[in-house]
Structure 1
Amino acid sequence: MSEAKLKILGWMGTALSVTMYVSYIPQIINNLQGNKSVFLQPMAAAINCTIWVLYALLKDKKDYPLAAANMPGIICGLIAAITAL
């Protein structure tokens, strides 16, 4: 596969990952309204995303699509986990 097509595929994956992590917003809203959920899954997602962002940004050749794909997971995962407590 050409480098240009791989780049497009990487950014498509980024968009899908952001969509997945933004889907925590309804859970956060429910948590804030008193309908608490389990904190474990979003906390695990936040930790996983933190590892991937560090990996992507600490490599010699930075992987910005990977970092961008996982950054919302850190933020939304932490907010969902904290509001579930």
Structure 2
Amino acid sequence: MNSETDKSSDRRRFIDSNRRVKVVRIVSELATVMCVLMYVSYISEIQSNLAGNPVSLSQPLTMMLDAILWTGYGWLKKYRDWPLIISNVPGVLFGVVTILTIYVH
């Protein structure tokens, strides 16, 4: 009887573990998409800069530095954290472009 209880308990833990892995993967994918969309929203800032209405430097600079740090963190981990890297590289790129267009328009 004890052996059966142990097997049942092990099976339940295995199923719970699989569910957790699936949930973590879904959350990771959604967070990656949302993070990229957040950075893509800087297109309007870039358009404003190019139209001669430059935005403040503090927001895009802070965003770019944050994206650089998170990208570096994801890259330097023992096992590269690709969702973290992929979601923050656009922040570096859009930050650079936004900052450049503040001064070059």
> What range describes the TM-score normalised by the shorter chain of this pair?
over 0.9
Aligned residue for 2:65?
47
CA deviation after TM superposition for structure 1 residue 16, in Å: 0.4
Give the letter aligned to residue 39 of structure 1. Answer: L
Higher relative contact order (CA 8 A, sep 6+): 1
| Alignment partner of 1:21 out of 27, 34, 39 | 39
Aligned residues: 85
Structure 2 unpaired stretches of 5+: 1-18
TM-score (norm: length of structure 2): 0.76
Q: Does 1:31 align with 2:42?
A: no
Give the letter aligned to residue 31 of structure 2. Answer: G
Give the letter aligned to residue 59 of structure 1. Answer: K
TM-score (norm: length of structure 1): 0.93
Partner SS state of residue 9, structure 1: helix
Structure 1 unpaired stretches of 5+: none
Query: Partners of 1:38 and 1:17 in 2: how far apart?
Result: 21
**Poorly superposed stretches of 4+, deviation over 3 Å:** none
Partner SS state of residue 62, structure 1: coil
CA deviation after TM superposition for structure 1 residue 33, in Å: 1.3
Aligned residue for 1:67?
85
Q: Does 1:79 align with 2:80?
A: no
Query: Partners of 2:20 and 2:82 in 1: how far apart?
Result: 18
Query: Partners of 1:81 and 1:39 in 2: how far apart?
Result: 7
